[in-house]
Amino acid sequence: MRHVLLLLTMSLSILSAVARGDATPPARRVALVFDDGPVPEQAAKFLELFAREGVKATFSHEGRFVAARPDLARAVLAAGHEIANHSYTHPHFKDMTADAITKELRDTQAALREATGREPVWAWTPFLEWNDTIAAAVASAGLRHFPLSQVKLVSSDDWNTQTDAAGILRNATAGIEDRTVILCHEWRAETLAQLPAILAELRKQGCTFHTFSELAATLTPEQRSVAR
């Protein structure tokens, strides 16, 4: 009888905590990705903020910007973040041949190898375009595309200059589930300004922050093998 009463008391305590909102929400693993860098005016500020916050992210870099400022790519990796291959000139891959796409990706790999001594694992295509030609080119370049179909993608819509700071905050924190990729852009000053509030809100929702590779590691081998 004593055991029954103890279990009943524990159950009532848990239900009471849930009703009060005291229960710890389930963890939601998210990956923040920042496109179109490295941006000289922004990169160091992002790294400083993430160092204070103890957050790791993925930066999808363009080869032309890496070639211009290799020190920034080195700083990203030195801080423990991950770099993805975002093409050399940010063209529309859907309008290109496989050979031309492969060159964009390989040139970016070469720029990052020269800058950092390392090459990315992931291809993160401009405009997130994808088709069979792009898939063949990604494979030819020795890269993998992050398996977006196996996670949820949330866009801050900061690429659209009509999206104001409040909209960026709202978009980047709405509809978050476990294994969500949150897409932002490194060049947008409003995104950097809103980032402390974005991180705070995501933490309230029980989010933990991961790189692409860390998030991919939470998937099954079958899920990781999906090209898109």
Cβ pair 38, 47 in contact under 8 A? no
Instruction: Please name the residue ranges forming H helices in the chain.
Output: 2-20, 43-53, 63-68, 70-78, 98-116, 132-140, 165-173, 189-204, 212-216, 221-224
Sequence-distant (≥ 6) Cβ neighbours of residue 31 within 8 angstroms: 57, 58, 151, 180, 181, 182, 209, 210, 211, 212, 214, 215
The CA-atom distances, in angstroms, between 164 and each of 112, 133, 189, 193 are: 33, 35, 11, 11
pLDDT digits (tens, 9 = 90+) for 181-200: 999 999 999 999 999 999 99
Q: Rg (Cα) of the chain, in Å, rounded?
A: 20
The pLDDT assigned to 14 comes to: 39
At 18, the pLDDT band (50, 70, 90 cuts) reads: very low
Residue 91 CA to chain centroid, in angstroms?
20
The pLDDT assigned to 129 comes to: 97
Whether the model pTM is above 0.75: yes
User: Measured in Å, how far apart are the chain's first and last C-alpha atoms?
Assistant: 56
Phi, psi (rounded to 5 degrees) for 85: -85, 115
pLDDT digits (tens, 9 = 90+) for 46-88: 999 999 999 999 999 999 999 999 999 999 999 999 999 999 9
Dihedral sign of CA atoms 96, 97, 100, 106 in order: positive
At 5, the pLDDT band (50, 70, 90 cuts) reads: very low
Task: Retrieve residue 101's tokens.
Answer: 């796409």
CA neighbor of 179 nearest in space, from 146, 152, 207? 152
Q: Is the pLDDT reported for residue 1 higher than 60?
A: no
The pLDDT assigned to 221 comes to: 83
Dihedral sign of CA atoms 75, 197, 31, 21 in order: positive
Cross-strand bridge partners of residue 83: 59
At 23, the pLDDT band (50, 70, 90 cuts) reads: low
Calpha distance 20→24 (Å, rounded):
11
At 224, the pLDDT band (50, 70, 90 cuts) reads: confident
At 10, the pLDDT band (50, 70, 90 cuts) reads: very low
Phi, psi (rounded to 5 degrees) for 155: -105, 135
Calpha distance 109→105 (Å, rounded):
6
CA neighbor of 73 nearest in space, from 109, 30, 126, 124? 109
Q: How many CB atoms lie within 10 A of CB 137?
A: 25
